[in-house]
Amino acid sequence: MPADESPQPTLLLRFDRRLIGPLILLAVSLRALAMFLYPENMQRDLDAYLGIARQVWAGIGFCTPGTAEPTAFRPPLYPLVLALTVPQFTLGRVLLHLLLGGMTVSFLWTTASQLGLSRPSRCLAAALVAVDPLLIWYTSFPMTEAVCTCLSAWMLTRLTASTPSTVQSAVMTGFVFGLCVLCRPTYWIWGALLTAWWCGEQLRNKLHAPDAERGRSGRILLATLCGVALTVSPWILRNWLVMETPIVMTTHGGYTLLLANNPNFYAEVVEKPWGTTWSGDGLANWTRDVQQQMQAANIQGEVAADRWQGATAREFIRSHPGEFTAACWHRLRMFWNVVPSGEAAAPFPNWLLWLVGGFYTLWWLAALMGLIVLARGRMYRWWPVVLLLVSFAAVHAVYWSNMRLRAPVLPGVALLAALPMTRRSLG
C-alpha cells in the first residue's frame, strides 16, 4: 500500500468525530435547557410510566400505581429502565433522557453514513433530530418519546449496515427489535413489513443465488427471530403467569382503538374545524359513559376491558365506514401536523408556534423531495426507512393519533430530508 493512502481513513474518522461531537453536544444542551426551564415536566406522570417504575422499585412489582394489581396496560421496557434510575429522584431520569438524546444523534449519523449520504447530508439529518422541537419538549417528560426515537435510530443502524450479516449480528438485530416492541407495540407492524420485504427480496434473488447462499439466508432469518423471541418471551411468560393470558403486546390497544373510533370523537373533533382537540368535559363524559357501559356488561379485569373496548371499536368501524374513513384522514393529518394545538400548544407563545410550524413544513417538503429521489434511484437499502414511516402512519391512521406519537419515525424523516443534498449514487 502506498504511504500516502494509509492515514486517509484515520483522517476521515477524526474529521467525522469533529462533526458529530458538536451535534451531540447541541442535542444534549437543548434537552437540558428544556428540563431546566420546565423542571415540573419530569414530575408529570401523564402515562403512568413513572408510577409503575416506582412500584417496581418498591418491590411491589409491575403493578397499577397505588395498587398491588398486576398490569399489562403499558409496555414494560421504559418503566423497567426508569426503575433502575431510582425513580424517587429526578436526576436519574434527566441523565437517562440526555444520554438517549445523544445516542440518537450518534446512531443517526452512523445510519446516514451507511446509506451513502455525504457529510453535509449527515450533518443535516443529525441536526434535524438534535433540534427537533417535539423531541426536545417531550424529553423533559417521563414518557417514551426519547427512548423510542433512540431505538428507531439504533434499529436503522442495524438494518442498513453494509457488511454481510452473521448469525451473531442477526441475533443482535433481533434483540434490538425486541427492545423496540417492548417500548411501543406499533413496531410489530414495522417488523411484519420488514419481514415481508426481506422474504420478497430472497424470492426474487432465489434463481441467481447458490444453494449455500440460500441456506445462509435462512439461518440469518432464524437467528433474527431467535433474538426477538429471547427478548420478548419474558414479558409474554410473565403475562401468562400473572394475567392468565399470554399477552404479547399490552392491554392498551383496545382502549386506543376505541378512543379513536367512537361517535363522540367523530362529532366533537372530526366534524369540527381543524385544530379542535378532544379534552375537557367532552373526553371526560365519554370516559364516564364507557365505564358505565362496561359495568352494565359486567366487564371485569384489565384483559376483559381491553377485549370489550376493541370489539366495540371494531363494531363502530363496521357500521360507520364513511365516518371511519373521514376519521382516518383526520388522524393521519394529526400525525403529521406541523403546529401543536390544544393543551400541547398552551405553554408556548404564538410566535414560537409559528416558528415550529415553519420548521416542520420545510422539513416535510425536504423529506418529500427525498422520496422523489428514491423513486428515481435504487432504494434497496432505504426500504427499512420507508417502511418505518409507512407502518407508524398506517397504525395511527386507525388508532389514536397526535404529533407526539410520530417521534419514533423522526430519524427516518430526517434521513429522507437530507438525501437530496447527496448527489452521488444511492448504491
Helix/strand number for the chain, H first, E second = 18, 0
- 70 - beta bridge partners? 63
pTM check: above 0.95: no
Q: Cα separations (Å) of 265 from 112, 284, 313, 393, 399?
A: 40, 12, 12, 19, 12
Mean pLDDT lowest among 92-96, 182-186, 208-212, 219-223:
208-212
Whole-number pLDDT of residue 213: 58
Percent of the chain at pLDDT exceeding 90: 78
Query: What residue type is assigned to position 200 of the chain?
Result: G
Percent of the chain at pLDDT exceeding 70: 92
Query: What residue type is assigned to position 81 of the chain?
Result: V
Whole-number pLDDT of residue 343: 80
Whole-number pLDDT of residue 207: 60
Q: What is the pLDDT of residues 17-74, one digit of tens each?
A: 778 999 999 999 999 999 999 999 999 999 999 999 999 999 999 999 999 999 999 9
Whole-number pLDDT of residue 198: 86
pLDDT band at 143 (very low <50, low <70, confident <90, very high): very high
Whole-number pLDDT of residue 162: 74
CA dist 113 and 164 (Å) reads: 16
Statement: residue 206 has pLDDT above 60: yes
CA dist 347 and 79 (Å) reads: 26
Mean predicted confidence (pLDDT) in 392-421: 96
Angle (deg, nearest 10), helices 90-114 and 8-37: 140
pLDDT band at 7 (very low <50, low <70, confident <90, very high): very low
Is residue 105 within 8 Å of 23, Cβ to Cβ? yes
Whole-number pLDDT of residue 370: 94
Whole-number pLDDT of residue 6: 37
